[in-house]
Amino acid sequence: MNLPLLAVSVLVLLALGYRFYGRFVAAQYALDPAAPTPAVTKNDGVDFVPTQPFYLLGQHFSAIAAAGPIAGPILACQQFGWLPCLLWITVGVIFIGAVHDFSSLVASVRHGGRSIAEIIKQHIGRRGWLAMMAFIWVALVYVILAFADITASTFVGRTEDLAGSTFAFNQGGAVALASCLYLVLSVVMGLVGRWIRPPLWLTTIVFVPATLGVVWVGTQYSTLLVLPSRTWGILILVYCFAASLVPVWALLQPRGYLGGFVLYMALAVGVAGIFLGGFAIQQPAFKTWNAPGASGALFPFLFVTIACGACSGFHGLVCSGTTSKQIARETHCRPVGYGGMLLEAFVALIALSTVMIAGAGELTGKAPGTIYGLGLGRYLAEIIGQERLVFATTFGMMAFSTFVFDTLDVSTRLGRYVLQELTGWTHRGGAILGTSLTAFVPLVFLLAAGEGAYRLFWVLFGTSNQLLAALSLLGIAVWLKRSGRQSLFAWLPMGFVLFITVWSLVLQALTAVRAFAASGRVDVPVLNGGVSLVLLGLAALLVVEAARVLRHVPSAEATAA
């Protein structure tokens, strides 16, 4: 099939989904443009700030569009082919992922800007809240683990496509140096904004082009930071620890601002490459129902491997953590919440296309970040010239790593918040201890695994992430039921995702039991199986508590009487 025609078809379906199903879901919530939102009633100029939907959509999209919708579709396409991936991304995002994000945002707005966990505490009870908080922390640990290792693999090794370079060149080293300089650039921008306070337009025209400058520096000094994959993994976790403790103005905010421009540049390059590059689809549409390996069955592992490209529980934390505090009118929830998730599906489509245009032998042994960078580099080279292919591919891979750094920083910070709320460690020492625990557990798992360990962690990461979405929808559905509102649109996607993710966890736990029985060793698959059982237990506790609450909810007939 023609690549541009395929992309147009997906975009049309996403637009129709927003127009019709997004409107249907909005009608169930009876959004009121005149109702005061928490951003208005609690406006403090810090956390609660009414924001125009255009700017809020950009901020929200930059926060949720990390590396998940890039790595997941690439891994799934390599295993099952591009057609099942594309079907799940398109259908899943319209009827499940966007509904989850939209509902999480509305629920938080209607509950004074409180988080999904606090909403569950109010409507399901303290035990349900404890189960949800513990589940969120475990899920965040696996987010950090998977993305730290997948980024480390992008920072290592040469690339055969660029072997003809006329100078000593290491593609992994170039990406590593460019990514590190990008972080330094973000810190400098934060310091300049804090102490010199130039106008934003001046900061933008200086620092945004500088992000391309660090890419060029990376290509010129590509052998400066050539380190083993495990070393990079450790250094990235050290970064997680430090970045989550420094003030947000020093790194998180400037890096997020620059990262938004990198994201939009990557999207623009992807659109230009798909529609103007003349690339043909070379990968098969369908490969197999059962690929080799413990996670090779298309059902259920296709869904959890794609992860954030179709549905992400992490988005609910963003919706109810920061975005809900900036909604100026309830009616803005639809373009920001539902529309933002549809944009993420487009990010997944571009990532999928970088695999689809690759030849038969071009994917072997390459990490998702490398595949994405090479594909995006080929698109960019069509614009700036093939003689700049080295720069183009380095930009593509650095763009991937910048998205990862956003996820790592936020996930470590959220993990610390969860532990502090559970334990009452509100002092500075508690913040350091909470951060240490959140970063130390991934470090232990990373040291226990070998090179390319992200393949061992990715499926469990995707499963926990989507099960988090199902549990969030469960809490929202209970709230709707207790409020006497129509809730079937929340129960149906919740039930499907719950079924798929529990199926995945059970299979991973059974695989671990068999592996331990055969070898008697506690290796990474066995550890994953133990974590699977923990997640199953926490999810079961929350479901039981929700069922207990629902038994006491009067029927619609009784309420009417």
Question: Residue 140: which of 507, 437, 525 has the closest Cα?
Answer: 437
Question: Residue 391: which of 175, 208, 185, 180 has the closest Cα?
Answer: 175
Q: Which of 367-371, 450-454, 523-527 has the lowest mean pLDDT?
A: 450-454
Please give the pLDDT value at position 448: 83
Distance CA(200)–CA(219), nearest Å, equals: 29
pLDDT band for position 276 (cuts 50, 70, 90): very high
> What totals of helices (H) and strands (E) does the chain contain, helices first?
24, 0
Paired tokens of 98: 């966007």
Question: Residue 206: which of 266, 130, 261 has the closest Cα?
Answer: 261
- HEC sequence for 283-301: CCCCCCCECCCCCCEHHHH
Please give the pLDDT value at position 452: 67
**CATH number of the structural domain 3-289+319-554:** 1.20.1740
pLDDT band for position 291 (cuts 50, 70, 90): confident
Name the 3-class secondary structure at 223: coil
Paired tokens of 540: 């079961």
Tell me the domain boundaries of the chain.
3-289+319-554
Q: For 92-121, what is the mean pLDDT?
A: 97
Dump strand ranges (E) for 177-244. Answer: none
Paired tokens of 196: 């010199």
CB 426 within 8 A of CB 420: yes
Helix or strand (DSSP H, E) at 463: helix 454-482
User: For residue 24, what are the CA distances in angstroms to 102, 180, 336, 338, 491?
Assistant: 12, 45, 16, 12, 15
Please give the pLDDT value at position 76: 95
- How many angstroms from the chain centroid is the CA of residue 185? 24
Distance CA(556)–CA(338), nearest Å, equals: 29
Q: For 223-229, what is the mean pLDDT?
A: 90
pLDDT band for position 438 (cuts 50, 70, 90): very high
Distance CA(80)–CA(74), nearest Å, equals: 10
CB 343 within 8 A of CB 10: no
Distance CA(406)–CA(23), nearest Å, equals: 31
Q: For 451-477, what is the mean pLDDT?
A: 92
| 66 φ, ψ (degrees, to nearest 5) | -95, -145
Please give the pLDDT value at position 45: 82
Phi-psi region of 523 (alpha: psi -120 to 50; beta: other; left: phi over 0): beta
CB 3 within 8 A of CB 356: yes
Q: DSSP alpha helices (H): ranges in 331-427? A: 333, 339-356, 368-384, 389-423
Please give the pLDDT value at position 346: 95
pLDDT at 455 over 50: yes
Q: For 15-38, what is the mean pLDDT?
A: 97
Paired tokens of 453: 């360990």
- The per-residue DSSP string of 73-127 comes to HHHHHHHH-HHHHHHHHHHHIIIIIHHHHHHHHHHHHHTTT--HHHHHHHHT-HH
Q: Mean pLDDT, the chain, as a whole number?
A: 91
Q: What percent of the chain clears pLDDT 70, i.e. is strictly above it?
A: 96
Question: Residue 67: which of 452, 458, 402, 454 has the closest Cα?
Answer: 402
Distance CA(53)–CA(105), nearest Å, equals: 13
Residue 221: other Cβ atoms inside 10 A = 14
Question: Does the N-terminal peptide bond of residue 209 adopt cis geometry, omega within 30 degrees of 0?
Answer: no
Angle between helices 252-276 and 368-384 (to 10 degrees): 60
Distance CA(555)–CA(484), nearest Å, equals: 9
Distance CA(499)–CA(496), nearest Å, equals: 5
CB 515 within 8 A of CB 532: no
Q: What percent of the chain clears pLDDT 90, i.e. is strictly above it?
A: 73
Q: Which residues of 318-341 are buried (b: 16+ CB within 10 A; e: fewer)?
A: bbbbbbbbbbbbbbbbbbbbbbbb
Paired tokens of 112: 């004074």
The residue with tokens 């059962």 is 290
pLDDT at 159 over 80: no
Quote the DSSP letter at residue 261: H
Paired tokens of 322: 């920061």
The residue with tokens 């003689």 is 387
Please give the pLDDT value at position 561: 40
Looking at residue 385, its amino acid is G
What is the end-to-end Cα distance of the chain in Å, rounded?
A: 58
Distance CA(288)–CA(319), nearest Å, equals: 36
pLDDT band for position 559 (cuts 50, 70, 90): very low
Paired tokens of 328: 């100026």
Per residue in 27-47, pLDDT tens? 999 999 999 999 999 998 878
Per residue in 164-203, pLDDT tens? 444 468 889 999 999 999 999 999 999 999 899 999 899 9
pLDDT at 549 over 90: yes
Residue 290 pairs in a beta bridge with 297
Contacts of 426 (CB under 8 A, 6+ apart): 420
Q: For 382-390, what is the mean pLDDT?
A: 91
Contacts of 242 (CB under 8 A, 6+ apart): none
pLDDT band for position 554 (cuts 50, 70, 90): low
CB 400 within 8 A of CB 155: no
The residue with tokens 């997004």 is 22
Q: For 498-514, what is the mean pLDDT?
A: 96
